[in-house]
Amino acid sequence: MKFIEEKKMVSINEIAELLNISVVTARRDVEYLEEITPNIKKVRGGAVWKENESGDKENIGNISKDYLNDRFHKQSKTNIKEKKQIALKASALLKSGDSILLDAGSTLFEFAKSISPNLTITAFITAMNIAEVLEDRETITKIVLGGVFRSKTTTMVSSMMEQMISSIYVDKLFIAATGLSYTHGFTCNDILEADVKKQLLKSAKEVYWLVDSSKVGKISSFQISPFDSSHTIITDDNIQPENQNELEKLMNVIIA
């Protein structure tokens, strides 16, 4: 930690070399330090030291605009226990030989981290932070689907992206939503991301919605999909019994 404080900004490779550890271990160490101290923030490819909340942007410099992804960072800390539960339950559905399609979002980020290193799979990826999580996983063939990159959410959007998705078909899709209601189905807050998600739903044999219970009953601005009895939702055990019962009438439900 002292090394990061002195240099203000360091790469994962520098940390690995200094401590004589693997890049994967160095990245995990940075993630741990970010959790236990407010002064260290993980950025793409490294870590930065920040003196205080008011000085974040000044200390981090131009890299903050592109890589800090403040909106995503805040989302990733919300209901983290539930998201990790969902991620573990979802990753248990994978088997070697699977081809999978990964949506963006904080729960999908946790899902990517929870994929077993013993699995040999092909992953089509729609978010740069998820690609980064998987970059050192040699047993995973990683295909990043390109489009217009949004740094604040780490997502890819655009008609180009949708066209690429339409050309593939996978075994399993893992997808997120910011709202889930019985009147509007699955929803999100961004029209471009909604369009991408709609295309994702057409490109997989099996569809798994990773949605924590805090989103049940909420309606976001743009509909992604109505309920489909062939789809499965994986949510956490904080869901109200009456909501679980209603969902089970509409689709497959897995409680994490």
- For the chain, give every domain's residue range: 2-68, 77-255
Dihedral-angle region of residue 137 (phi above 0 means left; psi in -120 to 50 means alpha; beta otherwise) = beta
Task: Give the per-residue pLDDT at 62.
Answer: 37
Task: Give the per-residue pLDDT at 122.
Answer: 98
Residue 219: Cβ within 10 Å count = 15
Task: Give the per-residue pLDDT at 63.
Answer: 35
CATH number at 77-255: 3.40.50.10470
Fold of the domain spanning 2-68: Arc Repressor Mutant, subunit A (1.10.10)
pTM confidence score: 0.71
Given a contact cutoff of 8 angstroms between Cβ atoms, the answer to whether 111 and 102 are in contact is yes
Task: Give the per-residue pLDDT at 47.
Answer: 85
Task: Give the per-residue pLDDT at 190.
Answer: 86
Q: What is the mean pLDDT of each run of 10 residues along the chain (256 residues)?
A: 75 81 79 75 82 46 40 62 96 98 94 95 92 90 79 60 88 97 94 91 98 95 96 97 96 97
Task: Give the per-residue pLDDT at 82.
Answer: 94
